[in-house]
Amino acid sequence: MASLQQLVDRAKRIVFFGGAGVSTASGIPDFRGAEGLFRQKYGELTPEMMLSASFFYLHPDKFFEFYRAHMLHPEAKPNAAHRKLYELERAKKLRGIVTQNIDGLHRAAGNRLVYEIHGSVHENVCMDCGREYDLIWMLETTGVPRCEQCGGIVKPNVVLYGEAPDKYTCMGACREISNCDLLIVAGTSLAVEPAASFLDYFHGRDLVTINLEEIPADDRATLRIRGDVAEVMGELEVR
């Protein structure tokens, strides 16, 4: 069976489709992995409830308390996987990163061809006047963040449960997936729609899965790698 290195060497258009497992080596916990946030309970509420659009509108104070405590990791730095993907993009082998992560670490590593289908903690928008704020501004606020211009609530541009992701970002992501010859699905349980269905757009030659555990997409994979994304990607040579 061909190795990941061989598949990368012969590929002309690689797309990397990742999730929370790509950033665990940067110190950001995932949701559904062994140490994930979904293993924990917050009183009667699950993280899925607290990160839902209805919870945001009903209890913005509690939402922001949870959001600041668990979703913001300003100290996190790109790891070996992010850095290798930057090298692959510079070498024009990588045509896109489709990520469910909201941490912005792919952009921090230097990648430009990034489809953040669940948005980013770096973007925050006033719900009343549309003024935009960055992560540093958000970190300096307390309680429910209010717009400096109009007093409206400033909402993070992250897709909450019950919200639809941005149509154009999803269209771009699906276009890249349908045009690639090698798709690497890494560090994602692919449990969340519409991301899970993005795989249906892939008609290329090789599908590789990299995950610590089995995932449904393994059934379709040319190569299944049980391992740490940062280690596996870090070992690749870009040539």
Would you count residue 49 as binding Zn ion (CB under 5 A)? no
**Binding partner of residue 111 among ligand NAD, Zn ion, none, CB cut-off 5 to 8 Å per kind:** none
At residue 146, the 3 state secondary structure works out as strand
**Binding partner of residue 172 among Zn ion, ligand NAD, none, CB cut-off 5 to 8 Å per kind:** none
Q: Contact with Zn ion (CB under 5 A): which of 22, 85, 94, 126?
A: 126
Site for ligand NAD in 90-129 (CB under 6 A): 100-103, 118
Site for Zn ion in 146-205 (CB under 5 A): 147, 149-150, 152
Q: How far apart are CA 7 and CA 43, in angstroms?
A: 47
Q: Is 203 a catalytic residue?
A: no
Q: Contact with ligand NAD (CB under 6 A): which of 153, 192, 221, 238?
A: 192
* 125 Cα distance to chain centroid: 20
Q: How far apart are CA 192 and CA 225, in angstroms?
A: 21
Nearer to ligand NAD, 100 or 124 (CB): 100
Say if CB 145 and CB 154 are below 8 A apart: yes
Nearest-CB residue to ligand NAD?
19
Would you count residue 129 as binding Zn ion (CB under 5 A)? yes
Q: Contact with ligand NAD (CB under 6 A): which of 31, 67, 115, 202?
A: 31
**Span of 44-52, 124-132, 179-187, 204-212 interacting with Zn ion by CB under 5 A:** 124-132
Please compute Rg for the chain using Cα positions: 18
Give least dist CB 150 to ligand NAD, A.
29
- Give me the sign of the Cα torsion angle 53, 54, 60, 66: negative
Give least dist CB 175 to ligand NAD, A.
21
Kind and range of the H or E element at 231?
Answer: helix 229-234
Q: How far apart are CA 44 and CA 67, in angstroms?
A: 17
Kind and range of the H or E element at 119?
Answer: strand 119-126
Catalytic residue among 59, 73, 106, 118: 118
Q: How far apart are CA 40 and CA 26, in angstroms?
A: 20
Give the contacts of 41 (CB within 8 A, at least 6 positions apart): none
**Residue ranges in contact with ligand NAD by CB under 6 A:** 19-21, 23-25, 28, 30-33, 36, 100-103, 118, 187-192, 210-213, 215, 228-229
